[in-house]
Amino acid sequence: MGRRRVLLDVDTGVDDGLALMLAIRSPELEVLGITTVSGNVPVARSTANTLLVLEMLGASTIPVVAGAAAPLAREPFTAAEVHGSDGLGGVTQQYPAPSSRAGQGAAEFLLETIRRFPGELTLIATGPLTNVATAIQRDAEAMHRLRGVTVMGGAIRVPGNVGPTTEFNFAVDPEAAAIVLGAGLLLTLVPLDVTEQVILSRQDVDEAGDGGPLQGFIRGMTAATMAFHRDHEGFDGMFLHDPLAVGVIVDPSLVRGQAMAVAIECRGELTAGMAVADLRRRSRTAPTATVCVEVEAARFLHLFTQRVLR
């Protein structure tokens, strides 16, 4: 069987960085390109971080294309508190600026690549959905030629992480999330319900040793976010939100999915960006996504540590 061709749309971000590592180190996948968006950090920074991660992996031949600098209809906000002001826990100061360059025009790049490989590509989105929604607005028909779209975002039966009911990626750009959830794509949603069950501990990173340059980079990049979680969440580690979105494509048996009608609240004062799932027993609303509701956390962590930390 051939490798599964994927595109990634990221706001790199510590866990986006780890997701890129898992994707590139997974022989089941062929990464055809990476687009970047504002989210954890402004887009110029998420782009530079993406290029740096690719250099660390020796994968700079993969095209990187920068996208939206701001959400569709709102002012951006970032997550520097969790990811550090550079988005990678301060580690970028220890490395020269990447020598590779990114293109411009993420939505166009997504559409062009999908048109070249109709029915073949899976898009994995791990940031706010601004680029993906823009591509849908420009050419929804082309976007329907994706084999599938996997989105890390939302909180279905658990509390949010930036607001009482809201998860970061959807809260940054609710209008974009609403467009993507409403587009009728073959969508798999990877919400906090499952991503908060996969925790990489500092011990996992320490046990992997400090032998190679990538291990030192990972240790440096994860230290601050792990300290943040130790101080605010009571565990010395971090959630592997975005890597799980890649894991679901590498091995779909890691999760159990449930078809659900999920819509995005765009007007609520307290709830803008909330993923509202119709969980009524006799709901007749048509499903909009397959939502991951259970994960084999230990098996995913094993896969992740074997492929990324060793």
What residues make contact with ligand BDR under the rule CB under 6 A? 13, 15-16, 40, 79, 82, 126-127, 152, 161, 167-169, 241-242
Q: How far is CA 206 from the centre of its chain?
A: 24
Q: Are strands 187-190 and 199-201 parallel, antiparallel or unpaired?
A: unpaired
In the list Ca ion, ligand BDR, none, the entry touching 170 (Cβ below 5 to 8 angstroms by class) is: none
The DSSP call for residue 79 is -
Between CA 46 and CA 90 the distance in angstroms is 13
Q: Give the 3-state secondary structure of residue 31.
A: strand
Residue 302 annotated in active site = no
In the list ligand BDR, Ca ion, none, the entry touching 222 (Cβ below 5 to 8 angstroms by class) is: none
Binding mask of the shown chain, residues 195 to 234, with x at each position contacting Ca ion by CB under 5 A: ----------------------------------------
Q: Give the 3-state secondary structure of residue 148.
A: strand
Between CA 116 and CA 129 the distance in angstroms is 22
Q: What angle do CA 14, 15, 19 make, to 5 degrees?
A: 125
Kindly state the smallest distance separating residue 246's Cβ from Ca ion, in Å: 11
In the list Ca ion, ligand BDR, none, the entry touching 49 (Cβ below 5 to 8 angstroms by class) is: none
Kindly state the smallest distance separating residue 33's Cβ from ligand BDR, in Å: 19
Between CA 275 and CA 261 the distance in angstroms is 10
Q: Please identify which of the residues 144, 229, 232, 241 carries the catalytic annotation.
A: 241
Strand partners, 9: 35, 125
DSSP H or E stretch at residue 227: helix 213-233
The reply to whether 13 sits near Ca ion by the rule CB under 5 A is yes
Kindly state the smallest distance separating residue 17's Cβ from ligand BDR, in Å: 9
Cβ closest to ligand BDR, residue 152 vs residue 180:
152
Cβ closest to Ca ion, residue 168 vs residue 261:
168
Count of residues that interact with Ca ion, criterion CB under 5 A: 6
Q: Which residues, numbered 69-128, are part of the site for Ca ion (CB under 5 A)?
A: 126-127
Kindly state the smallest distance separating residue 152's Cβ from Ca ion, in Å: 7
* C-alpha Rg value of the chain to the nearest Å: 18
Cβ closest to ligand BDR, residue 168 vs residue 304:
168
Cβ closest to ligand BDR, residue 242 vs residue 265:
242
The reply to whether 175 sits near Ca ion by the rule CB under 5 A is no
Cβ closest to ligand BDR, residue 13 vs residue 98:
13
The reply to whether 17 sits near Ca ion by the rule CB under 5 A is no
Between CA 107 and CA 149 the distance in angstroms is 14
DSSP string, 177-211: HHHHHTS---EEEE-HHHHTT-EEEHHHHHHT-S-
Q: What angle do CA 156, 135, 8 make, to 5 degrees?
A: 65
Positions marked catalytic: 241
Give residues in contact with Ca ion (CB under 5 A): 11, 13, 16, 126-127, 242
